[in-house]
Amino acid sequence: MTRLTRLLGAAFATLVGLFLIAPVAVTVASSLTATSYVTFPPQGLTLRWYGEVLAKPEFLSSFALSAGVALAAAALSAVVGLAGGLAIHRHRFPGRAALEAVLSSAFAVPTIVLGIGLLQWFAQMGLASSPFTLLLAHLVLTVPYAVRLVLAGLSGLDRSAEKAAAGLGAPPFLVFWHVTLPAVRGALIGGAFFAFITSFDDLTVALFVVTTDLQTLPVRIFNYMQYDYDPTVTAIGTLMVLFAVIAVVVIERFVGVAKLFGADTQERS
């Protein structure tokens, strides 16, 4: 590589990084402003807006709802993804091809269309809006992804390894535990991670599914901003970023984010 292309590459990477970081930096900075309106650069320095957030119980309950639904979506996506992936990978059943097609095209459906559809469907089923219907709606978004990740993991698994384990004395459950599960471990963590973020982040679908007394955090922020555009909003935004960073650090600590996206890292021994 020549000096010039290396330089251009570095410049490009820096620009992309700036482009990604800038909105976050602006949000964080404006949450510290002493003015009662959002402005950048911030004027003065105060933590007052963070106090405002904590003083508003509706924000805290929305956070609890969002986090709870996101955690449930993560866990269920992993479980359903595993079961679905195994079923598709191992068994020939009627409708298998159709199921695979639906799963891979699920991404293409705009979330707003999905939201309208679910609203209609829940209404017709007589399902009242609840954390449960919200979870159901989010699973529609996250399960296809989890299944596809598990399928990718399984395609890297050598069935012979399972046969070898059985021959060495492992009953079916232990074959699954010691051979099959490690092959999809990264896929399950990745699927759960994706599900958590997707659910925690979702505004579009939630807008259709929730009622006034059941608002997820993004919906709460969205509604709040229509009437009061004060720095409370940027303070919450900053807290959400912080929450995500902590989540990534915790996962990195225990699993390694790189591994979760399939990078072939050297095993530490």
Partner 1 sequence: MTTMTDAPASTEVRRGRLRLSGVRKVLGGKEVVSAVDLETEPGEFLTLLGPSGCGKTTTLNMIAGHLAADGGLIEVDGRDITTVPPHRRSMGMVFQSYALFPHLTIADNVAFGLRMRKVGAAERRRRVADMLELVGLDGMAGRHPRQLSGGQQQRAALARALVIQPDLLLLDEPFSNLDAQLRVRLRDEVAALQRRIGTTAILVTHDQEEALAVSDRIAVMAGGVIHQLDRPQEIYLRPATDFVAQFIGEVNALDGTALGGGACEIAGRTVAATPAGEPPAKGAAVRVYVRPEVVRVGHDGDGLRGTVRETRFLGSRIRCVVATPAGEVTAALPYDAAVPQEGEEVTCTWRPSDASLAARA
Enumerate binding residues for partner 1 (CB under 8 A): 158, 160-161, 163-172, 174-175, 178-179, 182-183, 185, 267, 269
The answer to whether 150 and 81 are in contact (CB under 8 A) is yes
Cβ-proximal residues to 26 (8 Å cutoff; 6+ apart), any chain: 40
DSSP state of 209: H
The answer to whether 262 and 268 are in contact (CB under 8 A) is no
What six digits make up the tokens of 221? 């922020």
Question: Rounded CA gap, 206 and 199, in Å?
Answer: 9
The answer to whether 33 and 39 are in contact (CB under 8 A) is yes
Nearer to partner 1, 110 or 167 (CB): 167
Cβ-proximal residues to 69 (8 Å cutoff; 6+ apart), any chain: 131, 134, 135, 138, 199, 216
Give the nearest distance from C-beta 156 to partner 1 in angstroms.
9
Give the nearest distance from C-beta 182 to partner 1 in angstroms.
4
Nearer to partner 1, 118 or 188 (CB): 188
Nearer to partner 1, 23 or 171 (CB): 171
Give the nearest distance from C-beta 176 to partner 1 in angstroms.
12
Give the nearest distance from C-beta 132 to partner 1 in angstroms.
36
Nearer to partner 1, 65 or 189 (CB): 189
Give the nearest distance from C-beta 85 to partner 1 in angstroms.
18
